[in-house]
Amino acid sequence: MTPLELLCPAGDMECLRAALRFGADAVYVGGPQLQLRAANAGFSMDALAQAVKETHALGRRLYVTVNAFPTNDELEALGDYAQGLFALGVDAAIVADLGAVAVMRKAAPNLPIHISTQANCLNWAAATAWYELGASRVVLAREMTLEQIGQLRAHTPAALELEAFVHGAMCMAWSGRCMISAYLTGRSANRGGCTQSCRWRYHLVEEKRPGEFFPVEEDDRGTTILSSHDLNCLDFLDQIAAAGVTSFKIEGRMKSPYYVATVTNAYRQRLDGLANGPASSEFLALLQRELDAVSHRTYASGFYFGQMRRHAPDDGVYRQDCVFAGVVMERLDSGRVRIQLRNPIHRGDVLEVLSPGSLGRTLLAEGLTTPDGRALAQAVEPMVLFDMDAPPELAAGDMLRKRL
């Protein structure tokens, strides 16, 4: 039986380290070319080399997205880029374009290729065709149901791996291939420049009443009819595995280290528990509480059980039950810890601990001082370092949060 893989996003080195520490089997990142995120979420070749080094040192895998659709002018450099990725030891490139696959396979035949969800693979014939062209994995189209995935698995080579998204933002488009941003702003989502225009709020204007805006739906917040819910498959990962998926992908290369750590921690524990049979409702509730602790829109199960509810767009409201308070930088010889602040902490605050494999631990913020020992009633300046009392199990890399 193929081991199940938890695949997590990273937009920078801090996110990569958070994903690895909190249990990712593999991490996917953007490189300097043709990656479908803003430039500040792409790693340089030197940063990729460091990312490969740190990932492989832990026995994990690193995949690089090359999933934008290249123009003629960009194909010439793509072969050299593929060779460069292979030389670094990258474990796979995630590619969407047929021409890009051909160029990269010719230039670096030993670099594994994963077919991006942007390629819209919905059926066994397409998946088999990609396999015959040299792909080792297909990232399934987000519109597939569990039944359709099972049918695809039954009609494709066993050596072809299947990957599917299980958590994060969804586009109101076909597997993310959307033209709204390009039309409204000139920045194409298919070239890595999405402005998330679908999440803006829209109203109608009647031709003979310029300047009068009518809500598309009666709502005191306006409307976001083009925007989707966030995906959350925590409750039915076992069914996705049974359908033949072996890589479970979390969306979010533009997300914070806190988001990456929290979501990775929850899904790591859920995947580890699959071998023990059905999860208890209490355990699932604890994990769901973790997912509610990060910023998200209304959760939904995507298309796995058929069409999403009609006429029920996301309400446009981001919600979260906790705020990221700080990260543990180091344990001190005194037994205390040094914290890098992200949001204010006051003496006496009840803080929750985000630690790998842990759920529900808390501590009281006591003994706050500056690094040179001056007592503090509170720490309020973002990114400032301060020291505080802590139990012995609190370790460097753990994160602290506060309930709202």
The answer on 273 and 125 residing in a single domain is yes
Distance CA 123, CA 151 (A): 8
Q: Tell me which amino acid residue 382 is.
A: P
Q: Which two tokens stand for residue 314?
A: 């996301």
Q: Which two tokens stand for residue 229?
A: 């819910």
Last residue of a domain, which of 300, 334, 361?
A: 300
The answer on 232 and 357 residing in a single domain is no
The answer to whether residue 178 is domain-embedded is no
The answer on 371 and 276 residing in a single domain is no
The number of folded domains in the chain is 2
The answer on 163 and 58 residing in a single domain is yes
The answer on 150 and 235 residing in a single domain is yes
Distance CA 150, CA 260 (A): 29
Going by C-alpha positions, the residue among 36, 29, 35 that lies closest to residue 178 is 36
The answer to whether residue 263 is domain-embedded is yes
CB atoms under 10 Å from CB of 391, counted, come to 10
The answer on 165 and 58 residing in a single domain is yes
Residue 117 backbone zone (phi > 0: left; psi -120 to 50: alpha; other: beta): alpha
The answer on 84 and 159 residing in a single domain is yes
The answer to whether residue 206 is domain-embedded is no
- Tens-digit pLDDT profile for the chain (404 aa)? 679 999 999 999 999 999 999 999 999 999 999 887 766 778 999 999 999 999 999 999 999 999 988 999 999 899 999 999 999 999 999 999 999 999 999 999 999 999 999 999 999 999 999 999 999 999 999 989 999 999 999 999 999 999 999 999 887 666 666 667 666 777 776 666 777 777 677 666 777 878 777 665 544 444 445 557 899 999 999 999 999 999 999 999 999 999 999 999 999 999 999 988 889 999 999 999 999 999 998 898 988 998 765 444 556 678 999 999 999 999 999 999 999 999 999 999 999 999 999 998 999 999 999 999 999 999 999 999 999 999 999 999 999 999 99
The answer on 260 and 372 residing in a single domain is no
The answer to whether residue 209 is domain-embedded is no
Q: 3-state DSSP call for residue 42?
A: strand
The answer on 19 and 138 residing in a single domain is yes
The answer on 342 and 278 residing in a single domain is no
Distance CA 210, CA 173 (A): 30
The answer to whether residue 179 is domain-embedded is no
What sign does the dihedral 391-344-169-93 (CA atoms) show? Answer: negative
Q: How far is CA 109 from CA 57, 61, 69, 76, 92, in A?
A: 25, 19, 20, 16, 11
The answer to whether residue 370 is domain-embedded is yes
Distance CA 101, CA 258 (A): 34
Burial class (CB in 10 A: 0-12, 13-18, 19+), 310: exposed
CATH code of the domain in which 68 resides: 3.20.20.60
Burial class (CB in 10 A: 0-12, 13-18, 19+), 262: buried
The answer to whether residue 186 is domain-embedded is no
Q: 327 and 397 in contact (C-beta within 8 Å)?
A: yes
Last residue of a domain, which of 251, 270, 300?
A: 300
The answer on 14 and 140 residing in a single domain is yes
The answer on 130 and 238 residing in a single domain is yes
The answer to whether residue 205 is domain-embedded is no
CATH code of the domain in which 356 resides: 2.40.30.10
Residues of the domain holding 130: 5-170+228-300
Burial 334-352 (b: 16+ CB within 10 A, else e): eebbbbebbbebeeebebb
